[in-house]
Amino acid sequence: MVVRWDGDHRFDASRLGSQHTIRIDADATTGPGPVDTLLSSLAACTAVDVVDILEKRRTPVEGLTIDVHGERAMSTPARLTRIVLAYRMRGNGIERAHAERAIELAVTKYCSVRDSLDPAMPVEWTLELET
């Protein structure tokens, strides 16, 4: 990865040699801030695993949205102290128990972003299964 400064608190991140960039803006005016980007990365990482697990069960996901909220310490640095992921999922034939198991595996076993965070930090989740 390479991160290029674009003035003020704006940065563009991309893989070396790639034209695809992600805007990171600590002022949150032209893109999400660094911590928001981290939270988004966690949500996306777990989502990949959830989609793949349910696809293998032959119950593909037709729609998936994850609201992610991070609580932060009041002191500097304002590190994350708790994360809550709220999954809203739909798909023909997806059973609640299977969706919950897929999320649990993604959060506790397969997601490398989660595994890179402090293991003592709580990462909680909920599921709303739409029919």
Q: What pLDDT shows up at residue 64?
A: 98
| 47 lies in the same domain as 107 | yes
What's the domain range around 112?
Answer: 34-130
| 12 lies in the same domain as 60 | no
pTM: 0.93
CATH code of the domain in which 56 resides: 3.30.300.20
Which H helix or E strand runs over 11? Answer: strand 10-14
Using one digit for the tens of pLDDT, what is the confidence trace for 94-110?
999 999 999 999 999 99
pLDDT mean over 26-45:
97
| 58 lies in the same domain as 4 | no
| 8 lies in the same domain as 72 | no
- Output the average pLDDT for the chain: 96
Helix residue spans in 1-131 (DSSP H): 34-56, 96-105, 112-116
Q: What pLDDT shows up at residue 75?
A: 96
Domains of the chain: total: 2
Please, which pLDDT band fits residue 131 given cuts at 50, 70 and 90? confident
